[in-house]
Amino acid sequence: MEEAYLYTVMQLLPHGINKEHVLQELRSQISESVKRKQAKGLSERDAMLETFKQLGSPREIANQYAGNHNVTRLQLAVRLFAMNVLLFLVGSAIVILQAYLSSPAKQQFWLLAQEHKYQILGVYSLLWLVCGYVIGKLYGFSLRRWLGRIIHVPLSLNYVFMLLILFRFIPTDWFGGVLNTDFVIISVVVTALLSVFSLVGFHVGARSKSVRKD
C-alpha cells in the first residue's frame, strides 16, 4: 500500500526535483504518523489509510513541488553562514561607530547595551531556534542526519569569536564593560547550546510538517 502510494507520487513529481529526497521525506512522515496513530489504538492498515488521507493524494503532493527547486545542504549552510556574517558585520559596525559618539552619548549607548545584553543574547538564541524550525518545516526529517553539519558551518564564527574573547585576543574593554566575567561565561554556554536550540526547532518544524493534524 505504502509503496504503491510512493510510486504514484514519484511518477507525478515534476522534472528537476530530487525524487529520492522527496520519497525519503515522505517515508519518514508516513512512518512517524502511523506509529502515532497505532499508539492511539488504530490498526496498521487504518493508520496508514488515515495518514494518506491527511497527507493528500499523490497528485496534491506532487503539485506542492511544482516550480520548486530543492536547496542543497551546502546551499543551506552557505545561506546561514551569510546571515551570521551579516549579523557579525552589523555588530562590528555598531562597536566601531560608537567610538565616534560624544562621551555622554557613548556612555548612554553602553548603559543601554548593559541593560539589555541578556535580552539580546536571548533573541539571538531564538533566531537559531527559528532557523532550525524553518529547515524542519521545509525539508522534514530527511535532513536530520545532516543538520549538525549544516548548522555548525555558520556557527563556526561564534566559536572562533568566543575563543578570541576567552584568550584575550579581543580586549573586552572594546565593549564598554558589557562583557564582564559572568556574561562571558553565560555567552560561552549559550554558544555551545546554539546547535541544540536549532535541533529542537528542527524537530518541532519537521514534526509539524509530517502530518497536518493527527
Q: What is the pLDDT along the chain (214 residues), one digit of tens a residue?
A: 889 999 998 888 877 677 887 888 888 889 988 999 999 999 999 999 998 988 888 888 777 665 444 566 778 889 999 999 999 999 999 888 887 888 888 888 889 999 999 999 999 999 999 999 998 888 766 677 778 888 999 999 999 999 999 998 988 888 888 888 899 999 999 999 999 999 999 988 877 765 544 4
Q: Please tell me the predicted confidence (pLDDT) of residue 213.
A: 45
Helix axes 181-210, 103-139, angle to 10 degrees: 30
Task: Determine the Cα–Cα distance for residues 136 and 69; give it in Å rounded to an integer.
Answer: 17
Q: CB-based contacts of 9: which residues, under 8 Å, 6+ apart?
A: 22, 23, 26, 58, 61, 62
Q: Please tell me the predicted confidence (pLDDT) of residue 137.
A: 84
The DSSP secondary-structure symbol of 13 reads: S
Q: Give the number of other Cβ atoms within 10 Å of residue 182's Cβ.
A: 8
Cell of 196: 541544540
Q: CB-based contacts of 60: which residues, under 8 Å, 6+ apart?
A: none
Q: Please tell me the predicted confidence (pLDDT) of residue 133.
A: 93
Q: Please tell me the predicted confidence (pLDDT) of residue 125.
A: 97
Q: Please tell me the predicted confidence (pLDDT) of residue 65.
A: 63
